[in-house]
Amino acid sequence: MNQNRRYRGVKATKEGIEIIESQRINNGWSRQALADKAEVSLDTYERFLKDKVDKNTIESIVKVFKLQPIDIVAYDEWHGIRKSKLDELAPKAELNESSVPLTFTCYVERPPVESRCYEAIQQLGALIRIKAPQQMGKTLLLDRILIEARKQNYKTVTLSFELPDSTVFKDICKFSQWFCVSVGRLLGLPNELNNRWDDIFGCNDNTTAYFEEYLLVECTSPLVLALDKVDRVFEHSAIANDFCCLLRGWHDMARRSDDRGAIWKNLRLILVHSTDVYRSLNILSSPLAGVGETIFLPEFNQEQVQDLVQQNGLDWLSNYDVEQLMAIVGGHPYLVQIAFDYLKSQENTLLNLLQMADTEASPFGNYLRKQLGDVQQYPELAAALHQVMTTNNPVTLESAEAFKLNRMGLVQMQGNDCSPRCNLYRQYFSVRLTAT
């Protein structure tokens, strides 16, 4: 029995452990806190850092950060594939370090996106907004920007708005205080709210003073504050507009030539948010509209998908194979990666994948079902999408529906006309949505 357990155990790679530990530290969690979130014991987490653990433990840990097991465990070890079998998966390439699948570390540049971000983060008082539908690679781009910032000897901290519980978002004062203390904790600074918060002033005024007179003063180098999952803020009308006004005000103050402006020039903001989750904030009239450097992440082109083919060790896929795949899923990074993960098993073929792509048994099934559920919450949106998916020619929709569906990444627009973003969406949604 013990031998069986040892055989089934897997060990994270050195890079995988660094990924987990860096994300834990960035979130300001102790190892005990992460173990609690993963619902494993501290001893189990400590063992994970040094030795093999069972697959359930790996899955529990990566789930906390919305990763996949093969993001931190070598593909062959996770799937129990011997080296000889890995050779069979890529018969045209000799197995070496560069051909081993690296799902998490795979990164495909989308020029000029990266160069724009690297230049922007060096600007005084910079504000960068990374916007794209879910699963388009926003977090990977954020990591690249932070690496570049650290090369400039900037201090970097990342705060995710997924961390607080729902009660924090119900009151602007509680949210503002959580925000101040959380950033301070990431900087290693104690909570000074009792000495620096005066209820006679508004929350934005107090938050500004807390940063200006305490957090930024303590920083000896420019501070890059990366705010991830900002769309969660946008979902709460009680705080969304005030928070956007706050960030807009900070950006404006950095343009001043006085002593106060000099302080705010040292703060560089990066906002990362999806474009498909807006409930309460009218993004067309948001206080952040037109502020800073706005980055929209495009889909991959064929050359970039070919790059991903090589990084995944699938160079046995021909150009024609890639064209066939893109004819179904387009250049959506997440869908392409799902396809590549599926094709890494020698039991799976591209033909099988294409034939089952729009079925519930498809590797794309979970993603498609989530998209379907999101759309079905809004009958007028579902009806508009049904019209697009069931009409052979481009469709002219009401501007609000067209805008939302485009931001969700489900349609593409040419002028005022909408058509499906990819054939997979047409095949899947056309039979699951009904007209109203």
What phi-psi label fits residue 391: left (phi over 0), alpha (psi between -120 and 50 degrees) or beta? Answer: beta
Please state the domain count of the chain. Answer: 2
Range of the domain at 188: 113-296
Across the range 165-180, mean pLDDT stands at 94
Domain contains 389: yes
Instruction: Reduce the DSSP state of residue 105 to 3 states and report it.
Output: coil
Domain contains 203: yes
Domain contains 7: no
Q: 135 vs 116, 119, 225, 358, 424, CA distance in Å? A: 21, 25, 22, 19, 16
Amino acid symbol at 75: Y
What confidence tens digit (pLDDT) does each residue in 7-52 have? 368 888 877 787 788 778 767 788 888 999 999 999 899 889 988 9
Looking at 296, 319, 340, the residue that finishes a domain is 296
403, burial (CB in 10 Å: exposed 0-12, middle 13-18, buried 19+): middle
Domain contains 5: no
Q: What is the DSSP letter of 70?
A: G
Domain contains 179: yes
Domain contains 189: yes
Position 282 confidence tier, pLDDT thresholds 50, 70, 90: low
Residue 240 has pLDDT above 70, yes or no: yes
Within 10 Å of residue 413's Cβ, how many Cβ atoms?
15
**Domain shared by 217 and 120, yes or no:** yes
What confidence tens digit (pLDDT) does each residue in 299-328 have? 999 999 999 999 999 999 999 999 999 999
Domain contains 182: yes
What confidence tens digit (pLDDT) does each residue in 137-159 have? 999 999 999 999 999 999 999 99
